[in-house]
A = this chain, B = another copy of it.
């Protein structure tokens, strides 16, 4: 049933005009008379001609397409970054291919290989949580394949990164909790393999130190920051006793943990203040609404894209090893309204 779409050769034959002229006419080249252009365009429409982009890409060695790999497209932060990327790409005439690694290293490898094999002009990556080596990227990078990393800082010394200032964000979030009167603040961090969470922890620790509070490693709880981790974390927090604040490295685990603590009879924010990270939409709607860190998402997508486009255009790699740091902003909501209501 599938008919073959018309090609420039069909138009060429139908009109007795060489296919090279047809090609030039369709790309509106100045080398073709307006009159012949007209004939060709009419026939193209008549035959339902649709350019075979594959052939074009093969010949020109340019796909005008960039690839994006994120852990999960459904996460609001990534969806927003993607909006920023799509906007920038649209303005520059690039197509965008979106894929999710589901935080799985094997899948990430597979995706890069597929994208490279499809000869995208470059890729934007927020690495998976399991990614702790850059071998699978270097393989392509050494041939000059343009890659820009965003969100999750990755091998800062060797790559181009666009990130937010996680340290500063954590510092300010923690300091905010201290200001409203928290004395014993637990930090829920992510896997040690991720530099990101190391930075967030450092911000937390330094804020404590700067404000004369003790750092207790028992107050730092590690998990994969998934919804499912909430119960265990809530139990651990309850067992610690006297905790009056929780600073989580993402909203998902903050909300989940908060729910379980509420079920245990803990009143938030009166007994315990809560701060998350990422500004998931759900954070604004839950009870109490969650104080969290906004991550300049759309902007991050735009900035990362522009860097990638530069990299694609450039034949040298002079813009390598560049880290662009965007400003986070603390969004204060009811989960830290503890004393301000007094």
Chain A positions within 8 Å of B, measured between CB atoms, are 1-3, 5, 48, 50-55, 57-58, 63, 72-76, 79, 82, 95-99, 113-114, 116-119, 139, 143-145, 255, 259, 281-282, 285-287, 314-317
Contacts and interface: CB of A to CB of B under 8 A. Distances in A.
B1 A54 contact: no
How many copies altogether? 2
A1 B314 contact: yes
B1 A117 contact: no
Contact of A282 (B58, B145, B285, B316): B285
A259 to B, nearest CB: 7
Given A1-B316, A2-B315, 19 more contacts: A1-B317, A2-B144, A2-B145, A3-B144, A50-B116, A51-B117, A52-B58, A52-B117, A58-B58, A73-B74, A73-B79, A73-B82, A73-B98, A74-B74, A74-B75, A74-B79, A98-B98, A281-B282, A287-B287
Contacts of A286: 285-287
Given A99-B98, A286-B287, A143 B73 contact: no
A335 to B, nearest CB: 13
Given A2-B145, A50-B113, A119-B52, A285 B314 contact: no
A311 B79 CA distance: 31
